[in-house]
Chains A and B, each alone.
Chain A
Amino acid sequence: MTEAPVLGMGLGMPSRLRRLGPRVGLAAALVLLFAALSLARPNFLTVANLINLVRQISINGILAVGVTFVLLTGGVDLSLGSLVALTGVAAASFAHPGQFPVIVPVAIGILAGAACGVLNGVVVTRGRVAPFIATLGMMTAARGLALLISEGKPVSNLRGSFTVIGSGQVWGVPVPVLVLCLVALAASVVLRKFRMGRYLYAVGGNQSAARASGVRVNRVKMFAYTLCGALAGLAGVVLAARITTGQPNAGAGYELDAIAAAVIGGTSLSGGTGGAGGTVLGALLMGVINNGLDLLNVPSYYQQIVKGVIIVGAVWMDRSRQNK
């Protein structure tokens, strides 16, 4: 980042401090929650539950990292939940026992997601349709396509080598967690070390300035939407493997959880600030709330209220800290 002083000026480029800021506030919120939950429930702070917790956030985490790229450009992707269903169904359709090697359904899921991402990107850049509308259209159409190819029924009877992606472990670490770690690490490297990463911040910070400094804005946006779609495809594959079926009605509302995780993690809805690390912390916070409320056996209605309050509270705490 230091090697691009021109882009850095006035482009809403996050200084190191501002990028660290959200994480400190968030980390504090997390520590607080952890402490409270450990006191209330002795079985919260056990290795088994922590592994359980991280596995539960992996799908939201993967989606949230993907949508972080789009949010950085100042866009939004509402199609994530539907893409999870579509890619899950597509992957599952090729994952029956004795059909294809396991790489085929995985590749099909990711490529289907990427293809939808490309389409989102084309509509946003070439068609100059507002990202909200473009991806809302994709959300509806992709859901329809998922129902169409699955005939409205779950696609089940999947081979063991595929479902391992959802339920297997490597050295005691669940595969979905491993996938999330790799995705977050790679995203972090792209955002910090690669030119494309800097361009993403630049486009989101000030599009005209970025264009004036020679950034090919449309290409950067295409990259963001395509990557986001591909990661939605990956999440779709992991979900299908975890629940051992491709569900055409899966993933409803996942897009909002993913966007919330990114925003809680310090990514701005107006673009230009944020990062993958914060997003994963955001997803973790949401996961802890969910897991904790279940462990405490808080009744459903109260759970929803508490979740809402904690999400807004966490972001509030964070932003007020930043403004000081």
Chain B
Amino acid sequence: MMRSNARLPGHGGSGYRGDQDVEGPGAPRRVSGRQARVPAPHCAALTVLVLALLGCGRTAENTKNVAKQPVIGVSMMNLSNEFIVMLNREMEARAKQLGVRLIVNDAERSAEKQIQQVESFAAQRVDAIILNPCEVEASSPAVDRALADGIPIVNVNSETRSAPSAFVGSHDEEAARIAIEYIAKRLGGKGNLVMMHGFMGQAAQIKRDRGAREALRKYPGLILIADQTAEWDRAKAMTLMENWIQSYGEKINAVFAQNDEMAMGALMAIEQAKLRDKIVTVGVDSIADALEAVKAGRLDATVFQDARGQAAAAVETAVKLIHKQPVDREVYIPFQLVTKENVARYLK
């Protein structure tokens, strides 16, 4: 609670980096210094810390001219995830161009935290909210709360059960379908496939699984011989792939990993087993590492999820809603297949 309150005011336009100033070098030093000899040093230290954090925030706000600038509260599902960080950066960039101020909070994968953040946005009377939901069901109360307070809310990247003012994102099923179709093409519609799931039960995992299975139905010659979760994690994916290679060896013709982190992990296991030429590896997301690997001819393909497109559309939609202009209720940003032939376009 202390943390989220403290980080709100000072946030300016600098994105989640604003934290660094608040929690970094400045505040703790004040605590350990003179205050230590007060009778109840712990309480005093804590109080000073809180005041220092609030102080940092307030001065930052005063120095900035925020008089009539519209403010959008943003709750991101997880700023430890590379793709979400990218999405956040692109939102900051677009907001700067449009002259709106973003207050960015990190829900750290917790839907409960996300609801609290939206509640505090509502209390601050922000002009609009952009929500990057953690969970389909559990984040829905956040949407309901914003709408009940008459604050327009835009969901970006993933959905909630409650309908927001507008949704901007991509169909995760489509990403999986594109990947499976690519694999089918490479294998001539015949072969054995293994699939790595993300965190079981998360929306992206469920949808990418569904999309893959729907696509597989079109190719009776493609057999899914094993599927297992590696929890979006590179190290876990490497271990899983090593075990699969032990188990199935050269029977495996292709790997579909539901994200690039796992694809990179699988790729390392495949390369170490010297099976690179025998196994087609495909991921989703187009993170920087994966794009480099596609360029180097190591990874066969990744599916590009357009962070910039989603971020820009979300901010634009929110701004239109603030100005009471008409918007599309659903904006879909298409996925794109990235292979060695077109990878140059995606590398910055």
Contact = CB atoms under 8 A, between A and B. Distances in A.
B235 interface: yes
A300 B228 contact: yes
Nearest to B16: A152
B246 interface: yes
22 contacts: A44-B246, A143-B80, A147-B80, A152-B81, A152-B82, A152-B85, A154-B289, A156-B288, A156-B292, A242-B268, A243-B264, A243-B265, A245-B234, A245-B264, A247-B235, A290-B239, A291-B243, A291-B246, A294-B240, A294-B244, A297-B247, A299-B228
A249 interface: yes
B111 interface: no
B82 to A, nearest CB: 5
Interface stretch (A16-24, A48-56, A96-104): A48-56
B246 A43 contact: yes
Contact of A152 (B80, B228, B239): B80
Interface in A290-309: 290-291, 294-295, 297, 299-301, 303
B11 interface: no
Interface string B149-171: 00000000000000000000000
Contacts of B287: 154
Nearest to B240: A294
A46 B81 contact: no
B235 A239 contact: yes
Interface string B214-238: 0000000000001011000111001
Interface string A233-248: 0000001001111011
B101 interface: no
Given A154-B82, A248-B80, A295-B247, A300 B229 contact: yes
Contact of B228 (A41, A239, A294): A294
A14 interface: no
Interface in B193-232: 197, 200, 226, 228-229
A273 to B, nearest CB: 31
A147 B240 contact: no
Given A154-B82, A300-B200, A56 B239 contact: yes
B79 interface: yes
B68 to A, nearest CB: 32
Contacts of B82: 152-154
A312 interface: no
Contacts of A249: 80-81
Given A43-B246, A52-B243, A244 B288 contact: no
A185 interface: no
A300 B197 contact: yes
Contacts of B81: 152, 249
Interface in B233-260: 233-235, 238-240, 242-244, 246-247, 249
B289 A156 contact: yes
Interface of B: 20, 23-24, 79-82, 85, 197, 200, 226, 228-229, 233-235, 238-240, 242-244, 246-247, 249, 264-265, 268, 272, 287-289, 292
Contacts of B246: 43-44, 46, 48-49, 52, 291, 295
Interface residues of A, number: 39
Contact of A244 (B20, B23, B243, B268): B268
A294 B247 contact: yes
A243 B242 CA distance: 13
A148 interface: yes
Nearest to B241: A294
Task: Report the 5 A-B pairs with minimum CB-CB distance, sorted nearest first.
Answer: A294-B243, A152-B85, A300-B229, A249-B80, A49-B246
A43 B247 contact: yes
Given A147-B80, A154-B82, A295-B243, A242 B238 contact: yes
A246 to B, nearest CB: 11
A243 B235 contact: yes
A143 B268 CA distance: 25
Contacts of B289: 154, 156, 245
Interface centre among B197, B243, B288, by most A CB within 10 Å? B243
B150 to A, nearest CB: 34
B228 A144 contact: no
Contact of A301 (B80, B200, B235, B247): B200
Given A48-B246, A294-B240, A294-B247, 12 more contacts: A49-B246, A143-B80, A153-B82, A242-B238, A243-B235, A243-B238, A245-B289, A249-B80, A250-B235, A294-B244, A297-B228, A300-B200
Contact of A297 (B226, B264, B268, B292): B226
A125 B27 CA distance: 24
A245 B244 CA distance: 22
Contacts of A151: 85
Given A243-B238, A301-B200, A152 B79 contact: yes
A218 interface: no
A247 B228 CA distance: 22
